[in-house]
Amino acid sequence: MISTEEFKAGMSRWTTGVTVVTARDGDRVHGMTVSDFTGVSLSPPLVLVCAGRDTITREVIAAGRCFAVHVLSAAQEELSNRFASKEFEHERFEGLEIQTGVTGAPLLSGAVAVFDCRLESSFEAGDHEVYMGRVEKLILHDREPLVYHGGRYDRLGSFRARGEDR
């Protein structure tokens, strides 16, 4: 059997975009940085996110039955760190411009893409909960995405080569 450290080292070789998932249950909002995000179906449009079972965001998604996935831009590295840190977990939204999505999920500005989702289903998988959401609204912007590989943030060479940095 492989160790947790070995598994994490292997997964760090997988280059991924960086997302922040936000959720609302009444007046309660929460969010966290998530690397486990993927599209599942074109018709209906479904996405999947994974949240650790010990996270507050998991509780808010389950209770509020909505969430938004923000594919972060290269300019949002600080936002990724803010939503990943447990130190100021209850202050993540302070000072941020927040809109309300059609599902009721809190929406952040500046992302490459925002998937506003209603919760379709969920199931336990190891130490995580897997959430499948139906995309009710999609917001797209032509910005360079934030990329994560080998335990650090990176940028896409194609954007740098074209001189684009939005």
Q: pTM for the complete prediction? A: 0.89
Fold entry, domain 16-152: Pnp Oxidase; Chain A (2.30.110)
Distance CA 111, CA 10 (A): 28
- Give the contacts of 39 (CB within 8 A, at least 6 positions apart): 45, 46, 47, 48
Break the chain into its structural domains and give their ranges. 16-152
* Best CA proximity match to 34, nearest among 62, 55, 13: 55
Tokens of 54: 């010990």
The predicted-structure confidence for 50-89, as pLDDT tens digits, reads as follows: 998 889 999 999 999 999 999 999 999 999 999 999 888 8
